[in-house]
Amino acid sequence: MWFFARDPVRDFPFELSPEAPEGSPPGPWVLHRGRKKATGSLVSIFVYDVKPGAEEQTQVAKAAFKRLKTLRHPNILAYIDGLETEKCLHVVTEAVTPLGMYLKARVDAGGLKEQELSWGLHQIVKALSFLVNDCNLIHNNVCMAAVFVDRAGEWKLGGLDYMYSAQGNGGGPPRKGIPELEQYDPPELTDNSGRAVREKWSADMWRLGCLIWEVFNGPLPRATALRNPGKIPKSLVPHYCELVGANPKVRPNPARFLQNCQAPGGFMNNRFVETNLFLEEIQIKEPAEKQKFFQELSKSLDSFPEDFCRHKVLPQLLTAFEFGNAGAVVLTPLFKVGKFLSAEEYQQKIIPVVVKMFSSTDRAMRIRLLQQMEQFIQYLDEPTVNTQIFPHVVHGFLDTNPAIREQTVKSMLLLAPKLNEANLNVELMKHFARLQAKDEQGPIRCNTTVCLGKIGSYLSASTRHRVLTSAFSRATKDPFAPSRVAGVLGFAATHNFYSMNDCAHKILPVLCGLTVDPEKSVRDQAFKAIRSFLSKLESVSEDPTQLAEVEKDVHAASSPGMGGAAASWAGWAVTGVSSLTSKFIRAHPMATQAETNVPQRPMPEGHPAPAPTPLSATSTTSDRWETQEDKDTTEDSSTADRWDDEDWGSLEEAESVLAQQDDWSTRGQASIAGQVSPPENNSPESDWSNWEAEGSWEQGWQEPSSPEPPPEGTRLASEYNWGGPESNDKGDPFAALSVRSSTQPRPESDSWGEDNWEGLETESRQVKAELARKKREDRRREMEAKRAEKKAAKGPMKLGARKLD
């Protein structure tokens, strides 16, 4: 039986890259790129080939192998694995690049910033302090060739070939025999008289001065060049001069050198160094300190190097969220760093964290996720959105916090293209119907209408036919003026999804009613939309063959491309509505209530109605319209799409104002007298289960209710002679308008909160209630008088007497 010797190099779990060696610094080692066979992760492999007759150099290489294997420090080159054979030595470390090559590459790309150099030198000095103060070791080879840079831009100290003990246990310093390295030796080493008194760190600090000179000025030509600081920053020059002084006794200890450079105004006293020092000690920091650090981190990330953000800040952010309970404060810096990642890296590192965050019950976390969804939505695939994100997001529709409900509505604009049929056309429409009908916050109802107009192109044809007309018609009855504007512009944004029949019989009657709206902004948008729909009807009337082309999108399947024609309309709607909303909610509560005509919540039956506010003689409807005309120049602004630029409004500020708004749910339509039923205190669950009956889009808006006959003495429009032929049996086309006169409220909605809009029958009911109250009062007084007379006539009863019938 034959036995074959195994090749240790072939069995080594790492392999060299086929590329040329990355660098051959002065010394015995040659640096190669490599990778781990099992995982493919990148590493650096230092290779030394044993040559006959070079025993002394081989011993130096083996000593370096041993030192690197036993020394562990964040600022010293990290050892991973090694291989020692009779022919070669392989030392595997973290993937690094020689400092000289790194600086040259960065100079070609624009150069390193001063803050990066300050942190790099800080790391090298800290490694020297560890060696000389903690380990009693002299590095003896500090130079550009002994420094390496990892992928995060961190500087690592290597080149441990000529290290020796400061206590003299292993003899004196080994002989280098390489002129390129000997030029960095301090001048006292050539003085054989022994008169120079020096500290154990003196030689390495001289070499540190040489390294600083080379970092800022390039390769050191000769030792005398150290007298000229060159491009070394002024804040570093005094400390540099201490390092290269002729007297070795005055050269500072590495620890003291760091303290001097970190003093106020020092070279290493900057935000970048402070951030790195905090990240190194983040595990022992207090939770309050971590919160403050992450809150301030986002402001600094823009000035930090990209590699540093990707490979050092990002892992710390992920760790802080996963194990440190950092919460929502990590979101802003996390998404900022995510911009530096490739799509594949984003999927691997950020998306799993984002999905986990959506399941959090922390309100601050949820609202920040919704606010910053635009930064990561493109990296989410449809299955993830529908199964892991949307089920958690919809809980925001039922949240008691208005800000979360509003942000949830706005996030649907980004999620809608990725939602499946059930989530988009069924689940989302349930919540939109309930919000638009029952939410007490006017801005939320307004934004729900706006969002529906934006996502209309993603809905199925049947959903569009069932929802859009009813939803926008409902919005036009909203007591909140911006919501009425949103309803009008919603019709315009989705105009290509309506048949000519619907335009004529359902949409135009609704829009025509808004031409006498008390708000001029509503009237202006209504006239624009009417002209648009009329032009379509007129073009089809002139050429009936265009009908198929005009209605081609009505029954088409959902597609984002169909919304191209309506995109500008939708953007115009969002811009106008959001600006109106922000102006409304930021106004003074008293002024806001007066300017927007928000009606007061009606009192339940049996309670006395509040006294109406008296109006001056000049407070007429015509005066109101003139006031709005003056404001029109600021309300009707650009039609560009500024969904994210516009301020949707701070709902917390408006909570006290909007709390007095009427609940305009369709289940409480206005009665003949113009009153609405008080809102019911239904729980979100009951609203959810009964949305088909109470919050559906169709209820109450499919067919307009028949108006009440006008009061006696009021003449119909058909009774006037308009200069045309005699009236026929087709009915009065202006009957609906007569109901909307200044003395009669709208039959479908609430009053507008002013005296001259209250219904006549309301006043009669108040009079009847007052008369009934007086009758009851008179009856009570009459009964009390009778009882008193009866008691006085009988006189007092004797004790023990029996009352006779």
Specify the residue for token string 């009329």.
534
> 435-453, pLDDT tens digit by residue?
998 899 999 999 999 999 9
- Cβ neighbors of 799 (< 8 A, separation 6 or more) are none
In this predicted structure, what is the pLDDT of residue 452?
Answer: 93
Sheet order of strands, 96-98 included: 96-98, 147-150, 155-157
Neighbour count for residue 35 (Cβ, 10 Å): 16
Strands (E), 212-344: none
User: How do residues 664-702 score in pLDDT, each as one tens digit?
Assistant: 333 333 333 333 333 333 333 333 333 333 344 444 333
Which among 6, 34, 7 is positioned nearest to 19, based on CA atoms?
34
The residue written with tokens 């105004």 in the block is 265
Of 262, 212, 275, nearest to 240 (Cα)?
A: 212
pLDDT, residue 661, reads 36
Task: Decide if pLDDT at 5 tops 60.
Answer: no
Whole-angstrom Cα Rg for the chain: 41
Question: Of 755, 747, 740, which is closest to residue 517 (Cα–Cα)?
Answer: 740
Kindly give, in sequence order, each residue whose CB lies less than 8 Å from that of residue 177, ignoring residues fewer than 6 positions away.
56
Lowest mean pLDDT among 85-99, 265-279, 708-722, 788-802: 708-722
Tell me the pLDDT tens digit for each residue of 599-632: 333 334 333 333 333 333 333 333 333 333 333 3
Tokens of 225: 């060049």
Locus of tokens 């909303």: 581
Joined tokens for residue 735: 């009957």
Residue range 196-208: mean pLDDT, rounded: 85
The predicted-structure confidence for 730-781, as pLDDT tens digits, reads as follows 443 333 333 333 333 343 333 333 333 334 344 556 777 888 888 888 888 8
> Which pLDDT score is estimated for 487?
94
Instruction: Give the containing element (helix H, strand E) for 501.
Output: helix 500-502
Cα separation, 799 vs 130, in Å, equals 110
347 token code pair:
């999927």
Helix (H), strand (E) at residue 81: strand 79-84
Considering only 112-121, 265-274, 575-584, which range has the smallest mean pLDDT? 575-584
* Residues in CB range of 234: below 8 A, 6 or more apart: none
Quote the CA–CA distance of 549 and 561 in Å, as a whole number: 16
Which token pair is 429? Answer: 């429409």
Encode 3-71 in three state secondary structure: CCCCCHHHHCCEEECCCCCCECCCCCCEEEEEEECCCCCEEEEEEEECCCCCHHHHHHHHHHHHHHHHC
On whether the CB atoms of residues 397 and 408 are closer than 8 A, the answer is yes
SS3 at position 641: coil
DSSP SS3 for 321: helix
User: Counting every residue, how long is the chain?
Assistant: 805
Nearest partner of 496 among 566, 544, 546, judged by Cα: 566
Q: 3-state DSSP call for residue 439?
A: coil
pLDDT value, residue 188: 82
Q: What is the DSSP letter of 271?
A: H
Task: Summarize pLDDT for 398-422 with one digit per residue, the tens.
Answer: 999 999 999 999 999 999 999 999 9
Confidence of residue 86 (pLDDT cuts 50, 70, 90): confident
Angstrom distance (rounded) from CA 499 to CA 554 = 6
Q: Which residue has the higher pLDDT, 78 or 198?
A: 78
Find, among 649, 746, 254, the residue nearest to 445 by Cα. Answer: 649
155-157 and 14-16 as β-strands: parallel, antiparallel, unpaired? unpaired
Q: CA 666, CA 676: separation in Å to the nearest integer?
A: 10
Q: Which residue has the higher pLDDT, 594 or 163?
A: 163
Among 315, 314, 411, which Cα is nearest to 358's?
411
207 near 184, Cβ under 8 Å? yes
At residue 181, the pLDDT reads 80
- The DSSP result for 213-248, as a single string, is HHHHH-S---GGGGGS-TT--TTTHHHHHHHT-S-G
Which stretch of 113-127, 221-235, 373-387, 731-745 has the lowest confidence by average pLDDT?
731-745
Q: What is the mean pLDDT of residues 21-41?
A: 79
Contact status, residue 159 vs residue 27, Cβ threshold 8 Å = yes
